[in-house]
Amino acid sequence: MPGGVVLQELLSFLTEAIGKAVDPRPGSNKHYSLHDIVMAAFAVFFSQSPSFLSHQRLMQQSRGMNNATTMFSIDQLPTDVQIRNVLDKVVPDTWRTVYRRCFEYLQVQNALEQFRDFNNTLLVALDGTGYFHSERIHCPGCTVTKHRDGRTSYTHTVLMAAVVKPDSAQVVALQPEFIAPQEGHDKQDCELQAAKRWIAEVGATYSSQGITLLGDDIYTCTPIITQAGAEELSFIFVAKPQSHKYLYEEIHSFEQLGQIQQLSESKTEKSKRRHYHYRFINELSLTNAEDAVPVNWVELTVTDDSGKQLYRNAFVTNHMISSENVAAVVAAGRCRWKIENEDFNTLKTKGYHFEHNFGHGSSHLSQTLLSLNIIGFLFHTLLELLDENYALLREKLPRRDMFFQHIAALTQYLCFASWQSLIQFMLRGILHGPGPPPDPLSIIE
């Protein structure tokens, strides 16, 4: 796709959401537009430079121009305090349409099809993670934990969702669901309750695309599986023996009768021989309840030539399992770890400062800032999938932290006409080294 088109389209999704948001400021005391305030915060996360705004303010003062204006269409640069004060009152639901528009954009560009996997479905991994912890700072949205030693801790956690694929290093972030006290409920919120809300709202929206949910052992329960079925979503969830005693008693009974099907195969992986042994059976009951949900069960054990066990895990699914597809079922189920490695790990350790406290506020600030950070991550994913110049640059700078370091340094000293001008400037430097001066349209002197 032509350079610069993708980011402008993505930014239009964010601008659209801002336009529909309710400005929390009363009266006419609105020196800075809500657009400038949101975009200023987003620019920090998209550039992954905590000092981005301060550098652009200095550039504006000294040169009368700045990258926040040329790249993100920010007319006036608000202060950090003003940004936090306003965003604290903006509800997190404001940004939900951005995720949906990005998903639809991938569909239109025929880029979503490359993520289809088992049974031609999209694998969507669900998992909860924390992003804030303190024994001092807190807000009404915090989860409160009373410790035995008298301490009280306050945390923020979120249910993350992403489209994953076994052989893909990229994941497509979907709308998260924040785990926070819910109005009208006395009990504290938890990951399973957040998952039920996510399945009812987001899962239902995408069910027509053919979705298989992936999750760890806590999702293997009647409420989640029942709701997934109601929304026409498939699932492959981890199933541990200690958590599902009735299920494994049933499996043991069928094993005694010789009704557990088995399949073995060997592979050479990185010059090492690995032996895969599958056991599976269809149409079991998850519990002993009269209305127990039916599940199909599969177990994989991996050993080396000496017989040493390298891996063992089991899954339940609503997909029928056979000798022809058992390996693919397990490969899809094991893919749930990608939300930890390619999503959580990237956000936490590869430049996105996921767990950094950019501001907590007294209402919604923590959730809104995290939302903008995840959207920044999502935009970079779509750029890599759809923008050829960006993809080439990322190939040359595969480490995200180094990629962002280059961006931070360049935007501190030079003002570019657009984001694409910055990408092209970086590409020329990497591919050709010292040479002719940059295109005067790329850098504003």
Say what the pLDDT of residue 111 is. Answer: 95
**Residue 313 exposed, middle or buried by CB count within 10 Å (0-12, 13-18, 19+):** middle
Burial class (CB in 10 A: 0-12, 13-18, 19+), 392: middle
Specify the DSSP element, H or E, that contains 283.
strand 272-285
* Phi, psi angle pair for 381, to nearest 5°: -65, -45
Name the residue range of residue 240's domain: 111-345
Question: What is the C-alpha to C-alpha distance for residues 93 and 371, in angstroms, rounded to an integer?
Answer: 9
Q: Are residues 422 and 293 in the same domain?
A: no
Specify if 216 maps to a domain. Answer: yes
pLDDT confidence of residue 440 = 44
Q: Could you say which of 321, 345, 369 is where a domain stops?
A: 345
| Residue 190: C-alpha distances to residues 7, 142, 183 (Å) | 35, 12, 14
Cα end-to-end distance, the chain, whole Å:
28
Residue 297 pairs in a beta bridge with 281, 316
Beta pairing, strands 234-238 & 261-269: unpaired
In this structure, the answer to whether residues 390 and 419 fall within a common structural domain is yes
Task: Residue 375: count other Cβ atoms within 10 Å of its Cβ.
Answer: 22
pLDDT per position as a tens digit, 339-375? 665 545 555 555 555 555 667 888 899 899 999 999 9
The pLDDT assigned to 339 comes to 66
Residue 441's pLDDT is what? Answer: 46
Does one domain contain both 188 and 297? yes
Whether residue 405 is found in the same domain as residue 293: no
Residue 143's pLDDT is what? 83
> Residues with Cβ < 8 Å from 386, sequence gap 6 or more?
1, 6, 106, 109, 111
Residue 240: strand, helix, or coil:
coil
441 in a structural domain: no
Q: Do residues 265 and 318 both lie within one domain?
A: yes
Residue 353: the pLDDT is 54
Q: CA-CA distance, 350 to 364, in Å (whole number)?
A: 25
Distance CA 86, CA 24 (A): 7
Tokens 């819910």 belong to residue: 182
Domain harbouring 296, CATH code: 3.90.350.10
Residue 154: what pLDDT? 86
Same domain, 337 and 400: no
Instruction: Kindly give the parts of the chain with pLDDT less than 70.
Output: 1-3, 28, 182-186, 339-358, 433-445
Residues 326 and 421 occupy one common structural domain? no
- End residue of a domain, out of 302, 321, 345: 345
Which H or E run includes 265? Answer: strand 261-269
Q: Which of 291, 310, 345 is the last residue of a domain?
A: 345
Q: Are residues 251 and 392 in the same domain?
A: no
pLDDT at 417: 93
> Is residue 280 located within the same domain as residue 176?
yes
Kindly state whether residue 313 falls inside one of the protein's structural domains. Answer: yes
Residue 438 resides in a domain: no
**Count of domains observed in the chain:** 2
**Cβ atoms < 10 Å from Cβ of 193:** 17
